[in-house]
Chain A
C-alpha cells in the first residue's frame, strides 16, 4: 500500500446562519487519499460537497465553523495548528483549492501577475518580484498558458482561460493535494475537456500528488478518478473504487445516482440527476434515522427510527444502510428480474 497523503477522521463542521441556526453540512466524514490517486466526490447539489472541500482546508471563517475531527496531511495533524500557521505553511503549499465558481475566483481589479505576487509573498517573505515572474512564466509555459495572460485583468480573459489560470495559480506553490470543486461545470464542452486534461497533466507532471475531484456530473468521474465517494445530506453514504461505485453501487442513493451514467455519451451533459424523485433534506434539522429514507424506493419502517452506520464491505469499500450487503443485492436482483 502506498503512502497516504491525506487522511480525514470523523470531520464535522457546521454553518451558523444569520438566524443563529446550525447547519451540519459535514457530518462525521472520514476519508483517505493515497499518493498519486484521484478521489471523486459525487452527490446532488446541496449534499455538502463544497462544504467538505472547504472543511478539508482546515482554515475556517464564518459562517463555517469547525466542530471536531482530524485532518492529517502527510501524517501532520493540521486541525491542531494555529490558523496563521495553517495560512502560511499549509494553504497553497500542502493543500490547495479551486472554488466552484472559478470564473469569479480572481479579483477583478488586479492583474494576474500582481495576484500571483500577493500569493507568493504571503508565503515567502524575501522573494523578489523578478523571481516570482520567472516562476509564474515557467509554470504557465509548462501548462501551455500564454505568458501575456500574466499581464491581464480577469475581465480580459475568456471563461475557459480564467478557469485554467485559476488552476495554474492554485498549483503555484506545488501543493500535495489539490481539491477541485466542480471545475468544469458552467463551461462549454471544449473548455471542459481542456480543464480535465489540464488536471490530469498536473498529476503527470508532478505538480501535485493527489487530486480530489468534486462534481455532480457523474460521467466525468469514472474516467478521471480512482475512487469515488458519494455524499448525501452531509454524510458519506458509499465509498468504493470507481469501477464498483459506477457499475456495482450498493447504497440505494448511489444506485439511483449512478443510474444515469449508462446513458450514451452524446446527451450526457443534459442528464440532470432527476432519476431519484424528491430533494435532499434541509440540514437545519435532518431527519432521524436514515437521511435518505424519505426518497428511498426500498424504505422500511425501522429505517426512519434506528440509527444507520457505515458498514465496511472490505478494506476499501463501505456504505451506510441498515441492510447487509447480501440482502441489498437480493433486492436489486429481484427488481432486475421483475423488470425483465
Chain B
C-alpha cells in the first residue's frame, strides 16, 4: 500500500504499545473501535503536564495555574478549529460521548412536552438509547426508532416518514460502532431542518476516520470521545450551537459553572463554563488537543484512503473463509468488519484469536437491537486504524482459520 501517503513504519514507531507481546505473540490490535492506542507524542504531553505545570485552572493567580489554564484553553481552540465550530465557547469539555449525550438529553427534558417526538436510529449504542428513554419518561415525549435494512443501513424510505411537526429532537450516530456503517447524517439534518427539530450526532466512531465540519453539516450538537482518536480515556467534547447551549439548563451544579452564589439565588457562568462544573480532566483535555494535532499532521484524507485499502483487503481475505458472514455490508462504511462463522459462537473465536495475539471485540458491542435484528448472540468485530498493516490482516485471517479448525 505504498501508493498512499501513510508512512506506516514511521507511524508504528510512534505507538510504543504496538511492539509488545500478548500471550507470547506480537500484539495485533484490532479493537480500535473500542479504544485507540496512544502515540508517544500524546504520552509526552501527558507526562509534561504532570512534571511541569499540574495545577487547577481558571481560579489561581499563580503562574502554574495560568500555564495550565492557557494550555487547556489552547486545546479547546484546537478542537474548535478541528471541528470548525464558529465559537470557542461552543466546545464543552466532557468526560466523553456518554456524558455529552446525557447533558443534552437532560437539558431537553425541560423543553419537551407530551405529544413531542424524539427520533433515534436502530443502529445506536444501546447505552445511548437509555438517556432518551429517560428523557421521554420525564417529559412525556414519544421515542420513535428509525429502522435498519439487512445491509445494516438506515432505512431511508422509512425515516422520511417518521419526521413530522411533532419531531423535536433526532439522535443518530455518524458511524455505527457495531457495523461501521456511515449514516446519511446530511440527509437526516436536512429533514430535521424542514420540521424544525434539533439534531444530535454521536460522532464517537466517526471522529477517528472522518473530520466533521459542524458548520457545513449545520448540526445542532455533535459529541465525541478523545480515547477513540488517539487521546486519553475519560475526556471528550460536546459541540453545541451557541443558541442551543444558551437555552439548555446546566447539567451539574458545582464549582466553575457559577457566577454569583448566595443561598437565595445563583447565577450561572457563561458558556462554556455553565456546563463544566467541577475540576475537569485538565491533562486529558490538553492531551486531546495534542491527539488531534497528531492525527491532523498525518491528515484525515490519507488516513481514510489507507484504512479503506485495509478494509477492502481484509474483507476479501476474510470472505475466502468458508461459512464466514459479514454483518453490515454498506458501501459506505469505516474500517470495521463485524462477522461470524456459521455454527461457531463469536466468543469462542475471540478467545482463540486472543491466544494468537489478536485483539478483537466479541459480543453484542452494546448494540443489542442490531444483534436481535440479525438473530445472533453477537459478532466478532475487527476494527482497523491507520497504524494497522496488511500483514496484521494476514495474521487475523490465519488466526480465524485456525480458530475455525479447532472449533468445528
> Do A and B originate from a single complex?
no
Q: Which residues of B contact A (CB under 8 A)?
A: none
